[in-house]
Amino acid sequence: MGRKSNVLLLCSFGFILCIAKLALHSHYPNIESFSKKNLQYYVDSPSCKMPKSNPFSADIMKVFKKKHFKECSTDNDLVLSEFDPELRQYRLYIDDGIFEKLSKKVPNATLRCQYQVIGRNKSASYPDKDFTLSDPRPLNQSFLVPKDIDFLSTQCYAVNGKKEIKLLQEDGFLFVQDRLSHNTKNPEGDRPDEESKPNVIILGIDSTSRLNLRRSMPKLHEFLQRPGWFEMQGFNKVGENTIPNLLAMLTGNAEEKAMAQSRFSHGGFIDKLKYIWQRFKNYGYQTAFGEDCGKINTFNYNKPGFKKQPVDYYLRNFIVALETILKTRREFGNVFCLGRKLGFKYIFDFARQFMQRFEKVAPVFGIFWSNSFTHEDFLGATALDKVFWEYLLVYDALGFFNRSIVFVLSDHGYRYGVTRQNAKSGYLEERLPMMFIYVPPWFRKRYPQYVENLRTNQNRLSSGFDVHMTLHHLLQLNVTSMSKFSPNLRASQCRGCQSLFFELPHNRKCSQAGIRDKWCSCEPIETVTNKKHITKVALEVVRHMNQHLEDRNLTEICENYTLKKVVHMDRKIPVTDESVEDDELHTYVISFYTRPTLAHFEATVQWNTHKKSLIMKVDEISRLESYKKHSKCTNDPVIKKYCICIPF
């Protein structure tokens, strides 16, 4: 079927509108029609046609190469941690057999171990960026950890008399201490509210698209096909990087205006936001948040972080301490090993302890997020696959999935690098992160309509604001429609967004899901081939960028741009025809290089065919390669994207 036939089928407002569409097409004949591609869709409705992409397309596979996981240490643990169920307390003990093996090259040596308590420095100006560390204390053969200690580090030396000969091992240990007051003699008895207050667990992997999951993590993907798991294939990101997308889920507001106004740099601003974990806490839940890679944590990268500890169990200061006091190793562009242990494992061991500690005594809400493998390298996911899969197997064997609603998700796909620069699917990969929801057998039996709605919603357009409403719904599962939700609980940035346990509208637009045009994946694209027109648009884009530098008084620190070349320019194909006037505005996605430094940009712009003029927001431009070394003259996360710092 040709382009003109497609237009005729799409027309729904009479003969005059159809004639206008056909005339417009003849005005721009040099366009490769998307209809020739026989596209299939993740979402296929009159208002949203989200194209499917092949995870194993040739342009991706030519740069795809599996990476191998490298252990941080092959030594057995000299100091081990175990939980004493009778005392409900942790105990550290030393394995003498391991000492004998480690000390073979140190004749006549004896063992001396010590520990230091790690804490949160509440008196610091920015407590999230600091930690406290006690003086060393002797660590005996069997040490019962006091309940007021959450984190500590250990050091074990081979000594001769008082002389330290060799540091054998140093490690970090975390403890999820149960500080609840138990009124019953048997705190391990069944919880009476297991179904009315299910555990809610969010397991997040940064920068992972649904396509790269299939390509790079086949074991994980296979696990997520088990009964009870539902993939939201129409899940579309709402902001550029991690923080707006997580805030949409956690607060119902992506706070992009606040970021543009640099309010996140003000101490205390982050604390003032209304997080969903606060509501779970009010409902009697124990709450936890852990994230690896301290320097790029969601609430701390170029931000002061939380002044007050935001949840009951918070891993931030422990990770900052370990990155400071232990020897680290970098892989995939990030801190990978914290001493002898993988940073990722600290996070997911924390998740295991948290769920295990309260499984019989209290409901839990936890967010456990990893950046280490995937934030800087889309191939890092290939090394993560087995590690993550093994943790899910452990959680399953311990019965955690029987009691929990579980989200396995990402914030967005890979935003720069080879997938964005070279792959045709990179545009969609960035916008379509993985999103899976698990509901246990009892939930499927008790709420069959919710399950049926989840199944339907797999191929409906959804966003992080819907996830936010779903989290609210989990605290009031007896509410059977959005009309019965309190207005105070609605996502403030998307009042029409709703719980994923209710059927999403079939004919939903991105604006109705809180997704701005720049990020919307509902419109197929067609490649523009008219070189003269492409050059005209590209030069206007660069002119707008230079004007923007002047308007923001950045010309003293940022270089002016000149156009080097255009990689490609695509036009978004409107899937609805609401007015003839819309035909004057064409939405283009243009990928281009500029001088100096061959900076690679992508811009979503509107071109007025009547006025021959451009509409664009330079602050929303995307940078398709890493720009760390070229943007050191500013800490503003928005300006960093497009500022090429003038060398001094």
Task: Give the domain ranges of the chain.
Answer: 79-174, 199-519, 525-642
CATH architecture group of domain 525-642:
Roll (3.10)
User: What whole-number distance in Å separates Cα of residue 41 and Cα of residue 61?
Assistant: 22
SS3 41: strand
Average pLDDT score over residue span 215-233: 97
User: What whole-number distance in Å separates Cα of residue 577 and Cα of residue 140?
Assistant: 75
pLDDT for residue 483 is more than 60: yes
Burial of 48 (0-12, 13-18, 19+ CB in 10 A): buried
Which of 17-31, 65-79, 88-102 shows the lowest per-residue confidence on average (mean pLDDT)?
17-31
pLDDT tens string 112-148: 999 999 999 999 999 999 999 999 999 999 999 999 9
Q: What is the pLDDT of residue 164?
A: 76
Residues near 260 by beta carbon (within 8 Å), at least 6 away in sequence: 619, 638
Who has greater pLDDT, 396 or 162?
A: 396
pLDDT for residue 583 is more than 60: yes
pTM here is: 0.90
Q: What is the pLDDT of residue 426?
A: 84
User: What whole-number distance in Å separates Cα of residue 353 and Cα of residue 313?
Assistant: 11
pLDDT for residue 548 is more than 90: yes
In CATH, which superfamily holds the domain spanning 199-519?
Alkaline Phosphatase, subunit A (3.40.720.10)
pLDDT for residue 580 is more than 50: no
Percent of the chain topping pLDDT 90: 75
CB 346 within 8 A of CB 291: no
CB 2 within 8 A of CB 33: yes
pLDDT tens string 402-440: 999 999 999 999 887 777 776 678 889 999 999 999 999
Confidence of residue 31 (pLDDT cuts 50, 70, 90): very low
pLDDT for residue 457 is more than 90: yes
pLDDT tens string 247-297: 999 999 999 999 888 899 898 999 999 999 999 999 999 999 999 998 899
pLDDT for residue 11 is more than 50: no
pLDDT tens string 148-161: 999 999 999 999 87
Q: What is the pLDDT of residue 490?
A: 96
User: What whole-number distance in Å separates Cα of residue 164 and Cα of residue 106?
Assistant: 11
* φ/ψ (deg, to 5) at 41: -135, 145
User: What whole-number distance in Å separates Cα of residue 116 and Cα of residue 356?
Assistant: 25
User: What whole-number distance in Å separates Cα of residue 625 and Cα of residue 220?
Assistant: 28
Confidence of residue 163 (pLDDT cuts 50, 70, 90): confident
Helix (H) or strand (E) holding 246: helix 242-251
